[in-house]
Structure 1
């Protein structure tokens, strides 16, 4: 077992080498890079990203990033391509082929086949004197001096460079398309960020019961209504008009002050100025109101009418908090 010191040194050395490799890519953001962005933005097709080995894994990540930021993309494994998957390539698609050496057996077979289809071929390659570089219309240079692996064999620095170049390409594409946070939310509706940008108060309120009671209801009925709906609150309504709300905290405070409950009605203990929010407001706005007022329930309205209740737990469950 290596010493603690040598382990730390190896870890630091790896990160330093990979950081240097990424810094070295800055000079490779050139005319070919710009032309790649321009072609993809103007294209009416998709981006087909292919590779072999570890480069194939990087290709899958780049595809995922493209798709999530508004650039339609498909992964094609270089080995499967020559066994039928070339059929996924359509006339207007642009192809990005990723390879460190550009000379693996699979790439040597695949590169000329990709050119036969007439599609634009972009080589993300780490060796400019290679088969892939020769066949590519444009080159994204991801050359590195050495791998972080002490034997200079395991793809480490080279795959980091490929990943970083893919991220740079994706960010430039979303920049060129003016891709904003609302666009991002459409592609990530299930994520917490997407929910922050599109989930409305009404979406949450509709999932809950809609507890209400008349102003003349006795305290016993108020307690039963609060308990049954498990929201810790009931809304006092008369003729479809909101008079106030009663929370479980109001009940506790009332019990501390009164021993005889026989004559107490809902209207006697309700809060006539409850915090509320319109049903079309964002759930994120509801969270801000809840935080600012140190409450756990929020009344949701539709105009002047009672629509429903949002509880703090609803926001927690959706990952808004």
Structure 2
């Protein structure tokens, strides 16, 4: 059934919000299709990508109003994917911020109409600096479009706003075209996940891309017993090291298996003479392992796949310790 929102104003009409939401999304999706189609009609987009790839300076993105917010997001995306970028508010530019632009920079100006007063003041000043100018505009025939070196055309005939006033579809189109530009630059530079990790060292995303198993496992104790260790020694090792398991090593120091809390509980129901039990009798051979140089995110994936809470950590094939689900929880990877 349609979901409507009642209003306190008795003269207002209840709105079928799901229908309105779908309509907005359909209209904006259609606009993005038009933007994608428009790319085929001009070489400017590809030429703009090549110009930025050869750039020795930075990409300076500017705009006014909602376009300024879009510019800020595009700058963030460019910086995070290997293209140095700066945001310059179009209004502040004519009050001193124009000084941030250097001769080897490249400017992208965002404006739906391309004819706003601030843009008309700014463009001649940019031309005096001699920097390349790309216009991300809806109206290619606007003042900005005519003055620009490159046109990044984002044609929008109507906003999703029923009054055709609030920037909605136009900002979505500009944002998407900025994303397309950033991804083209990313792929052209062969920007890898490792490169991404170096620029995102903080937060969960960064940790997934750079945090290694050894970074976490070396903080843990290393519970281990020999194969002929009696049950009491096994119990003390597991409880004392507090990782819910112990590695079992053979006489040569090689990993023979693992004993977990669960193995001990199952053992109680399977053996009557507990005094004679050794680690060899209750170990699980060929336990799940992970190398010390693997990513911690891979450790999480293996634990989830096997429905377990710890992995034996190895280095050059030899036992090196444990990584536990709690380690990953503490780092926010889960």
Scaled to the shorter chain, the TM-score interval is 0.7 to 0.9
Gaps of 5+ in 2: 1-6, 8-12
- The answer to whether residue 35 in structure 2 is matched with residue 25 in structure 1 is yes
Partner SS, residue 25 of structure 1: helix
- The answer to whether residue 83 in structure 2 is matched with residue 71 in structure 1 is yes
* 1:97 CA drift (Å): 0.7
Closer/same/farther in 2, CA of residues 13 and 303 from structure 1, 3 Å limit = closer
Question: What are the Cα deviations for residues 182-239 of structure 1, in whole angstroms up to 9, with x where unaligned?
Answer: 4333333446565455443322312322223455654334323322332101223467
Distance, in Å, in 2 between the alignment partners of 1:44 and 1:190 is 28
**Which TM-score applies when normalising by structure 1?**
0.86
Distance, in Å, in 1 between the alignment partners of 2:301 and 2:100 is 48
Closer/same/farther in 2, CA of residues 293 and 153 from structure 1, 3 Å limit = closer
Question: What are the Cα deviations for residues 264-305 of structure 1, in whole angstroms up to 9, with x where unaligned?
Answer: 444543345433233223445444544555433221122353
Q: Which residue of 1 aligns with 2:3?
A: none
1:77-88 aligned within 5 A: 77-88=89-100
- The answer to whether residue 289 in structure 2 is matched with residue 276 in structure 1 is yes
Aligned-CA RMSD value: 2.7
* 1:49 CA drift (Å): 0.5
Gaps of 5+ in 1: none
Q: Which moved more, 1:216-225 or 1:299-308?
A: 216-225
Q: Which residue of 1 aligns with 2:193?
A: 181
Distance, in Å, in 1 between the alignment partners of 2:271 and 2:27 is 73
Distance, in Å, in 1 between the alignment partners of 2:58 and 2:25 is 34
Partner SS, residue 140 of structure 1: strand
Within the candidate set 159, 162, 168, 2:180 is matched to: 168
Partner SS, residue 301 of structure 1: strand
Q: Which moved more, 1:190-199 or 1:247-256?
A: 190-199
Q: Which moved more, 1:186-195 or 1:243-252?
A: 186-195
Closer/same/farther in 2, CA of residues 145 and 294 from structure 1, 3 Å limit = closer
* 1:50 CA drift (Å): 0.7
Preserved contact between residue 213 and residue 222 of structure 1 (Cα < 8 Å): yes
Closer/same/farther in 2, CA of residues 305 and 103 from structure 1, 3 Å limit = same
Question: What are the Cα deviations for residues 235-254 of structure 1, in whole angstroms up to 9, with x where unaligned?
Answer: 23467544443211222123
Distance, in Å, in 2 between the alignment partners of 1:314 and 1:203 is 10
Q: Which moved more, 1:228-237 or 1:276-285?
A: 276-285
Question: What are the Cα deviations for residues 88-107 of structure 1, in whole angstroms up to 9, with x where unaligned?
Answer: 21221100011112222222
Aligned length: 320
Q: Which moved more, 1:297-306 or 1:109-118?
A: 297-306
Distance, in Å, in 2 between the alignment partners of 1:281 and 1:53 is 46
**Which TM-score applies when normalising by structure 2?**
0.83
Closer/same/farther in 2, CA of residues 306 and 134 from structure 1, 3 Å limit = same
Q: Which residue of 1 aligns with 2:125?
A: 113
1:174-213 aligned within 5 A: 174-190=186-202, 195-213=207-225
Preserved contact between residue 28 and residue 140 of structure 1 (Cα < 8 Å): no
Distance, in Å, in 2 between the alignment partners of 1:269 and 1:11 is 60
Higher relative contact order (CA 8 A, sep 6+): 1
